[in-house]
Structure 1
Amino acid sequence: MDPTALAPAADLRADQLQSSLADSGFSAVTVLDQVDSTNRWLADRVRETGGAELSAVVTGFQSAGKGRLDRQWFTPPGVALTFSVACSPHTAAGHPWPMEYVPWLTLIMAHSVTRVVRDSVGAPAVIKWPNDVLVDSRKVCGVLASLVSPRDGSAPGVVVGAGLNVSQRHLPVPAATSLLLEAGDAAAVPGRQALLTEILREFARCYHRASADPGAEFGPGGEMRALLESEVDTLGRRVALHLPGSTAPEQAVAEGLGTSGELIVRGHDGAARALSAGDVVHVRPAPGEPRTAAEQRAIHEIQDRTAGDRA
């Protein structure tokens, strides 16, 4: 029997995680057998004690997870990787990140998951703006971030959580998938501890790089901005925008990301506008749209790697 069936966090070891992530700047990594929400648990601690430079919590089972717009989601114990990271974004000069750059942390986490899914499973993962990771148009991971103000009045912290479907064989909706379903073989899917370690390492690498100079990295021509845009499958295609209070979707072309990671769209009237995550209910490909450049790049990357492995 899978040990996680009775003890959902049996495959996760806090001491090993802490040791593996110490050189990435993590001050603490907590393992919980189960919790209602890793984001809520970590936010409560940031609120009471202030934000650490980097800390994380992972659980074997999350009983009351929420996504964007308070959407509920549930996975059985032991089959998903559910975790949150807390950080207190400061520049190399010791100043808090300008607030307009903080929303990019959601996309940094989505990128970190995307990169590890590609590297570890060989699945062509891409980012769906603003906070999902997809494989072949099916959701494998969701990301949710929140700003937390410590009670001591110190600079706000940020908590970024993710839920990655790992070993589910059956999912409640056809628009979802798991690493096991994509790999087709349980032996080809790394364990949750290995996946988490690599995701957090990549998140920390991008976070520290961006913190050196957020304006340079996320501004026009910034390397971090270009990297994230290259993985966003939403860009370069016609999309159907489901807006709050609207009964019919509005079509537009998604052209790029704005200063704070907003989606820049151009409507039929030729006017461009920036949409934040809170401005939309859903952003979906318009009917009949082909694969985007981001998805094609992901597929070619996996094909090239597979060919290299066989050579």
Structure 2
Amino acid sequence: MTQDSTGSTASTEALGGTVNTGGEQQPTTASPLDAAWLRQQLVAEGPYSRLRVVEAVDSTNLQLSRAAGEPGFAETWPHLSVLTAEEQTGATGRLGRGWSSPPRTSLSTSVVLRPGRDGVDPTRQLPWISLVAGLSLVEVLRERHGIPAQLKWPNDVHIDGRKISGILAVLAPVPAGAAGGVTVVLGIGINVLLRAEDLPTPTSTSVLLELDRLGEGRASAAGAGSPDLATLRTEVLAALLERLAQNLADLEGVAARGSVRDSALGARVQEVMDTLGQEVRVELPGGGAESGTAVGLQDDGSLQVEVTRRRSAPEAPWEAVEGSAVQRRRPFSAGDVIHLRRAQA
């Protein structure tokens, strides 16, 4: 894993934007996170070392990454420390796309991880951290809320193509002479209380809207400040962080023993990933693209695609790829993956 090489595209299109009220940003009446309860559940009685809630920040990932290069960061932000913001104004996603979160309607959270803190080689863990974070959110949405979430490689969480979350894991800078292995900042953005008129595109969604689709009527019958929604963001964040800590501990143990992909944890990731078996187009960082069927994951978490066509640039014509199915299989560790109908491939 290299800096900005894993995670999902946390874009403005996917994670919302400012609240849409005729072009002007308006304050929200949604309730703040219950910071005291979160600290009790996650720090005092749970596995986390620290939890800090701030009102607004440009980016939780950027703030922690900037601080990571300063002396004393490891002591101030130990393994399993959390920074979460009520509003995020200037984040950057995996492919450099910017996004922001309206006040008190989304969850913008980063977790500090040190997978090599015990002297164990973290190499096998690193490519799977974001995938495991996506798995954790999928499991929480399914089990606690009945929302049929799925994982889209590399790490978008969506419901029937409607994106509800983006994830980005980056390697943070380490001060000269510091010990304790690498530092990863894992950022997770989740649309929770956004209403239909707040979403910038039809391909976005939120927990609130999905509950409404399931028949709970919350999005149409109640505003974001309604009493029955006052604790929803707090509950989602607590459940996610609890499941994330469990799954990351499992990842550490599995990676120390062998292949993550071939483990029970790897099987769970692949089971909830609807990219597998899909016709996809992979838009590459250099401007080219390749199209084919996503057939599996590699040991390093990369997506294996049975490529049928490719183009060298956006304006270049598509060319057929020759060879047997096995010869045409290629792993992708970076790129914007687009699920296709066969007619679009």
- Is the pair's TM-score, using the shorter chain for normalization, greater than 0.5? yes
Measured in 1, the distance between the counterparts of 2:68 and 2:31 equals 26
2:46 is the alignment partner of 1:32: no
Measured in 1, the distance between the counterparts of 2:59 and 2:127 equals 21
The count of aligned residue pairs is 279
Are the counterparts in 2 of residues 60 and 78 from structure 1 also a CA contact under 8 Å?
Answer: yes
- With over 3 angstroms needed to count, the CA separation of the structure-2 counterparts of 1:38 and 1:246, relative to structure 1, is closer
- With over 3 angstroms needed to count, the CA separation of the structure-2 counterparts of 1:123 and 1:188, relative to structure 1, is farther
* Other-structure match for 2:252: 211
Measured in 2, the distance between the counterparts of 1:131 and 1:266 equals 20
- 1:96 Cα deviation (Å)? 3.4
Counterpart AA for 2:34: R
Unmatched tracts of structure 1, length 5 or more? 290-311
- With over 3 angstroms needed to count, the CA separation of the structure-2 counterparts of 1:140 and 1:123, relative to structure 1, is same
Secondary structure at 1:70 match in 2: coil
Which of 74, 88, 99 is the matching residue for 2:100? 74
Moved more, 120-129 or 212-221: 212-221
- 1:120 Cα deviation (Å)? 2.9
Measured in 2, the distance between the counterparts of 1:126 and 1:33 equals 30
Which structure 2 residues correspond to residues 92-131 of structure 1 after superposition, within 5 A? Answer: 94-131=118-155
Question: Deviation string for 1:220-275 (max 9, x for gaps)?
Answer: 5211111111111111122112223446x432111111122100111233222211
- Higher-Rg structure is 2
- With over 3 angstroms needed to count, the CA separation of the structure-2 counterparts of 1:47 and 1:8, relative to structure 1, is farther
- 1:7 Cα deviation (Å)? 8.0
Moved more, 238-247 or 264-273: 238-247
Counterpart AA for 1:259: D
Are the counterparts in 1 of residues 88 and 100 from structure 2 also a CA contact under 8 Å?
Answer: yes
Secondary structure at 1:274 match in 2: strand
Runs of 4+ in 1 over 6 A off after TM superposition: none
2:213 is the alignment partner of 1:197: no
Measured in 2, the distance between the counterparts of 1:204 and 1:165 equals 21
- With over 3 angstroms needed to count, the CA separation of the structure-2 counterparts of 1:219 and 1:80, relative to structure 1, is closer
Measured in 2, the distance between the counterparts of 1:72 and 1:90 equals 30
2:36 is the alignment partner of 1:15: yes
Which structure 2 residues correspond to residues 126-165 of structure 1 after superposition, within 5 A? Answer: 126-151=150-175, 152-154=177-179, 155-165=181-191
Are the counterparts in 1 of residues 62 and 91 from structure 2 also a CA contact under 8 Å?
Answer: no
- 1:146 Cα deviation (Å)? 0.3
* Other-structure match for 1:62: 88
2:277 is the alignment partner of 1:230: no
* Other-structure match for 1:174: 202
Bigger relative contact order (CA 8 A; separation at least 6): 2
Counterpart AA for 1:208: A
Measured in 2, the distance between the counterparts of 1:284 and 1:109 equals 21
Counterpart AA for 1:88: R
Moved more, 219-228 or 192-201: 219-228
Secondary structure at 1:192 match in 2: helix
Q: CA RMSD in A?
A: 2.3
Are the counterparts in 2 of residues 8 and 61 from structure 1 also a CA contact under 8 Å?
Answer: no
Measured in 1, the distance between the counterparts of 2:146 and 2:257 equals 32
Which structure 2 residues correspond to residues 269-308 of structure 1 after superposition, within 5 A? Answer: 269=323, 270=325, 271=327, 272-277=329-334, 280=335, 282-288=336-342
- 1:14 Cα deviation (Å)? 2.8
Identity %: 32
Measured in 2, the distance between the counterparts of 1:266 and 1:190 equals 45
* Other-structure match for 1:305: none
* Other-structure match for 1:306: none
Are the counterparts in 2 of residues 34 and 63 from structure 1 also a CA contact under 8 Å?
Answer: yes
Measured in 2, the distance between the counterparts of 1:191 and 1:218 equals 37
Measured in 2, the distance between the counterparts of 1:160 and 1:63 equals 18
2:112 is the alignment partner of 1:86: yes
- With over 3 angstroms needed to count, the CA separation of the structure-2 counterparts of 1:60 and 1:275, relative to structure 1, is same
Counterpart AA for 1:132: D
Which of 291, 294, 299 is the matching residue for 1:254? 294
